Structure 1
């Protein structure tokens, strides 16, 4: 019998931002920034991992969960295990029975990423979360602005 992976939790502390990013359409649009909460949590977990921001969920503030079945679609489930493996550097984390530990590591990095996103949205005003996230990604060096003209002086033969 294989163990069933647990649902993925998120802190209610960030629920306003989760809704703003994954449920409410962008201003003047029918489109949401993240098509699902699952995608937002994956983005937040990668951001948290990249920034070394792992924050335990404060369960006293309440949690919301996303069914693990949502993560089994596409490659989202693989991301949970990849982050756990990268964090522990121990292949035993991938063994049957370790699903709960993997989920907890993912949740804590997603929580850290949501904290980073919240802080940035608060600084930017948050009216246009898409612009605020792009600004954050540029500021932190994840996106490099395109050069208008190539630097021909940098080319050598």
Structure 2
């Protein structure tokens, strides 16, 4: 599923849903955290390591620490030497988020994962499609 979402082109397009596996895992971790779905990795089923250097670019590394801090509510998790603890929390929420995405794709048939995920985000209240255009009349430059 990870390969499909981050590497395979969407049907009838020349783009992928997520530009990189890093972006997919960050999205999944945020979704898992939001839905309170933290699932330990089953190392017996095999896991593919993603180089930590991939997360040092941009804001991805900050997100790992932010999720760990939000989960533990303990600033000690940000100290040197706690990186593996932070990574484990992030991985488990990403795993939970990937499970949510998998369920959404199975429910929607999986042919169009972008539509399946969009529908999931709508039904869970992350996207408000009923919202009208914002009233900009009071804004002056």
- The reply to whether TM is greater than 0.5 is yes
1:138 matches 2:122: yes
Runs of 5+ unmatched residues, structure 1: 1-16, 151-157
Query: Structure with the greater relative contact order (CA < 8 A, sep ≥ 6): 1 or 2?
Result: 1
Is 1:89 the counterpart of 2:104? The answer is no
Alignment gaps of 5+ in structure 2? 135-141
Does 1:21 find its partner at 2:26?
A: no
Residues 1-150 of structure 1: matches in 2 within 5 Å?
A: 17-147=1-131
CA distance in 2, matches of 1:142, 1:79: 19
RMSD: 1.3
More strand by share: 1
3-state SS, counterpart of residue 137 of structure 1: helix
Q: TM-score, normalized by length of structure 2?
A: 0.92
Give the TM-score normalised by structure 1.
0.83
Paired residues, number: 134
Deviation at 1:146?
3.7
Q: Give distance in 2, aligned partners of 1:149 and 1:67.
A: 42
Structure 1 runs, 4 residues or longer, greater than 2 Å off = 146-150
